[in-house]
Amino acid sequence: MDGWIFSTLQTLWSNQSTPDHVHSLEFLHTANGFSITMAVLHLVVCIMGLVGNSLVIVAILKLDKMSSATTVYIFNLALADGLFMVGLPFVAFQNFQNEWIFGDLACKLVMVLDGINQFTSVFCLTVMSVDRYMALVDPLRFARWRTPKRAKIISAFLWLFSLLPVLPMAFHFSVKYDLCMADTFMMNWWMTFLSITFVVGFALPFLVMIIFYTALVMTLRCARQRDGGSSTPESQRLEKQVTKMVVAVVVVFGVCWLPFYVFNFYSLHNKNVQLVFARGFEIAVLLSYSWSCANPILYACLSETFSRHFRSLLCPHKNVTSTHCNRDTEGYDLRDTNGQDITVLA
């Protein structure tokens, strides 16, 4: 969907008729330091996203075999993020060359897949926040809700649900003026769609993540206080690790996606688009794509399980202990703090 709305910005800009706007438009589409830098950054983000998410997918299929609900969600998250990167070169080419050369069918297909993968990625991360709460607070109580089979059913539903807000846009996207863009006469409808997208694709998921992650951290702290302030090194490490995970996931999600929506709403309310704003808009779009290559980095840094999996894949000659989660109750039971494996993201 990032490509959709950047195309809309190009349309808004192209509709400006003053000499200053024409000069700015020509300057934007001239090969200069900024455009070349953005093209390189698009390439870097695309490569990092494809490589990082491919490593996650291979690690799950080869070493974990989706043996837990959590890794099922992470597999679908990595798949959506990886596919999200596939559409990036097409969008980057249009933004850099101000031209779409791939045909009308490719225009519709790229934009629809772009939106589906974006929504699925956000929904998977949101479901994972609920899953982490159930796994770490009371894994035995929620065991029947956290089987790999149920996780696969929920993941399939997330993919189908992501299709609903996106599919209608395929009928309103086509190649016009050598650009892949939406119908410009439907701006009121577009504003409604953007509002729904903001609520469903950012505001509600962000709120759910904050609620469940906050509840998770507070539950861990309350458990420590119930023990009279005395806690084992293992439980202290868990609380510290979970807190880092909560802060990292929420901050990265907000930083990568909030500027994207701010620029979108501003561009629809203010059609007097300036060069500086358009460049900032392009940076915001790139930032939203970079979120998909940030997720594997979070796994590597915050998940001990995935750190071992990555080391095993990248350095197979070294003796790395294989780690598998319990099929139904992987996580950390607050009622038993002795000898359990701590897995925050996996």
Q: For 101-165, give the DSSP string.
A: -S-HHHHHHHHHHHHHHHHHHHHHHHHHHHHHHHHHH-TTTTGGGS-HHHHHHHHHHHHHHHHTT
283 in any annotated domain: yes
> Any residues with CB less than 8 A from the CB of 107 and at least 6 apart, and which?
100, 173, 174, 175, 180
| pLDDT exceeds cutoff 90 at 297 | no
**pLDDT, greater one: 277 or 305:** 277
Q: Above 90 in pLDDT, residue 27?
A: no
The pLDDT assigned to 16 comes to 45
Task: Pull the structure tokens for residue 38.
Answer: 């953005």
Domain assignment present for 341: no
- In the chain, the amino acid numbered 343 is T
Per-residue pLDDT reduced to its tens digit, 82-130: 998 988 888 888 877 778 889 888 888 888 888 898 899 999 999 999 9
Distance between alpha carbon 128 and the CA centroid of its chain, in Å? 12
Is residue 119, in this structure, part of any structural domain at all? yes
Cα angle: 133, vertex 236, 131; to 5 degrees = 10
What is the residue whose two structure tokens read 């959709």? Answer: 4
Mean pLDDT taken over the chain: 77
Question: Which of 154-163, 185-194, 283-292 is least confident?
Answer: 185-194
Q: What is the DSSP string of 187-240?
A: HHHHHHHHHHHHIIIIIHHHHHHHHHHHHHHHHHHHHHHHTTT---HHHHHHHH
Residues in the chain: 346
Per-residue pLDDT tens for 309-344?
777 777 776 654 444 444 333 444 444 443 344 444
Q: How far is it, in rounded angstroms, from Cα 131 to Cα 126?
A: 9
Q: What's the pLDDT at 198?
A: 92
Residue 155 — pLDDT band, cuts 50, 70, 90?
very high
Among the residue ranges 50-54, 64-68, 322-326, the one predicted with the least confidence is 322-326
Q: Which of 304, 299, 302, 296 is nearest to 340 (CA)?
A: 304
CA neighbor of 289 nearest in space, from 69, 89, 64: 89
Give the pLDDT of residue 91. 81
pLDDT of residue 48: 92
Residue 339 maps to a domain: no
CA 260, distance to chain mean position in Å, is 13
Contact present, 105 and 78 (Cβ < 8 Å): no
How far is the C-alpha of 28 from the C-alpha of 254, rounded, in Å?
Answer: 28
Does 12 map to a domain?
yes
Task: Name the percent of the chain lying above pLDDT 90.
Answer: 21
Structural domain boundaries enclosing 276: 2-314
What pLDDT, on the 0 to 100 scale, is given for residue 19? 42
Q: Which residues pair with 182 in a beta bridge?
A: 173
Q: What is the pLDDT of residue 212?
A: 92
Distance separating alpha carbons of residues 69 and 122, to the nearest angstrom? 17
pLDDT in tens, 247-274: 888 899 999 999 999 988 887 777 666 7
Higher per-residue confidence, 81 vs 336:
81
pTM (two decimals): 0.82
Instruction: Please determine, for residue 308, whether its predicted confidence score (pLDDT) is greater than 80.
Output: no
Q: Are 273 and 239 in contact (CB under 8 A)?
A: no
| C-alpha span between 346 and 343 (Å, rounded) | 5
Look at residue 39 and tell me if it is in a domain. yes
Taking residues 14-19, report their average pLDDT: 44
Which CATH number does the domain housing residue 141 bear? Answer: 1.20.1070.10
Total domains present in the chain: 1
Residue 345 CB partners (closer than 8 Å, separation 6+): 70, 74, 128, 132, 245, 298, 299, 302, 303, 305, 306
